[in-house]
Structure 1
Amino acid sequence: MPTGSCWCGNVKYEFAGGSTPVALCHCLSCQKISGGTNTANIPVAREKLTVTSGTPKSHTQKHEDGFDLTVFFCGDCGSAIYKHADGDMFENVSLVQSGTLDGPARDKISTPSSELNVKLRASWLAEVSAAVQKQGFV
């Protein structure tokens, strides 16, 4: 069972399942959440994600595409751990931030299968050649 944690280790989680496709997202919200060029998201069914230690804080903000996006993060170190969105395509899905995976779980991350919002990808950042390139979320 893959496990993960925040930077300081106060919030820990696990989820059922093995290697899952990773989706890179270049939207403006993900850039702000990560402080970088994108987020690397592992879609996990919400009922399969369990916080095993600590209690993440959350912040909800309107995404630039109009849906509500909630980020769950450690209140001590600030690491973004997972996200929920109320848009139809995100119903019942947690988007686990791949950089929070621990140990052996990190080795099970597949090459990104899709890149979302590529219209907002930094011009100097190359596309992932094997990934489906999408202008938006669909």
Structure 2
Amino acid sequence: MAVGGCFCGKVRIQYSGQPLVSALCHCFDCRKLTGGLYTYNFIIKSVDLKITAGSPKEVPKTADSGNHIKNYFCSDCGTPLYGLTMKSDGTPDEKTVLRAGILDDTGILNALPPKAEIYTDGRVSWVSPAEGAGQFTGMPPAP
């Protein structure tokens, strides 16, 4: 079981199971979301994610891809925690995009290098592709 949380400690999460995929995302939205050049994410089954403390703030947005998404943050410190893609009927997808950097155990991050990089046309020129990761200019087929 993986556990993690926000910078200030108000929101805590845990998830069971294994990520469906690990990926770096270079899209404009992810850069704005985090203030970094890309995000490192685990795609997990939504049913495996539990909020164990706090109540994340929900921020809905239509992404550059056209997908309707909801991102969740700590309402106190602003740490981005996870995101959900919404189906056309307004219900959440069965998968959650977990921001891997919120996990407490660095061993998990070391054991799960990115298997894919997406929206690579948005990658800045001085960042090299991750070794062994598939390269996609957009969204790859769903896992």
Q: Percent identity?
A: 30
Distance 1:87 1:100 in 2: 26
* Structure 1 residues 1-138: aligned runs within 5 Å: 1-18=1-18, 21-86=21-86, 91-103=93-105, 106-109=106-109, 110-138=112-140
Question: Do the aligned partners of residues 34 and 93 (structure 1) sit closer, same or farther apart at CA in structure 2, a change above 3 Å counting?
Answer: same
Distance 2:98 2:9 in 1: 16
1:18-40, Cα deviation, whole Å (9 max, x unpaired): 46642100011001001111111
More divergent stretch after superposition (14-23 vs 62-71): 14-23
Distance 1:78 1:25 in 2: 20
1:109-138, Cα deviation, whole Å (9 max, x unpaired): 211000000011011110002000001012
TM-score with structure 1 length normalisation? Answer: 0.92
* Structure 2: gaps (5+ residues): none
* Alpha carbons 2:25, 2:119 under 8 Å: kept: yes
Distance 1:129 1:87 in 2: 33
Distance 2:47 2:95 in 1: 8
More divergent stretch after superposition (20-29 vs 116-125): 20-29
1:29-85, Cα deviation, whole Å (9 max, x unpaired): 001001111111111100110000000001011101111121100000000000111
* Structure 1: gaps (5+ residues): none
Distance 1:68 1:118 in 2: 21
* Alpha carbons 1:24, 1:41 under 8 Å: kept: yes
Distance 2:98 2:56 in 1: 13
Question: Do the aligned partners of residues 18 and 66 (structure 1) sit closer, same or farther apart at CA in structure 2, a change above 3 Å counting?
Answer: closer
C-alpha RMSD over aligned residues: 1.6
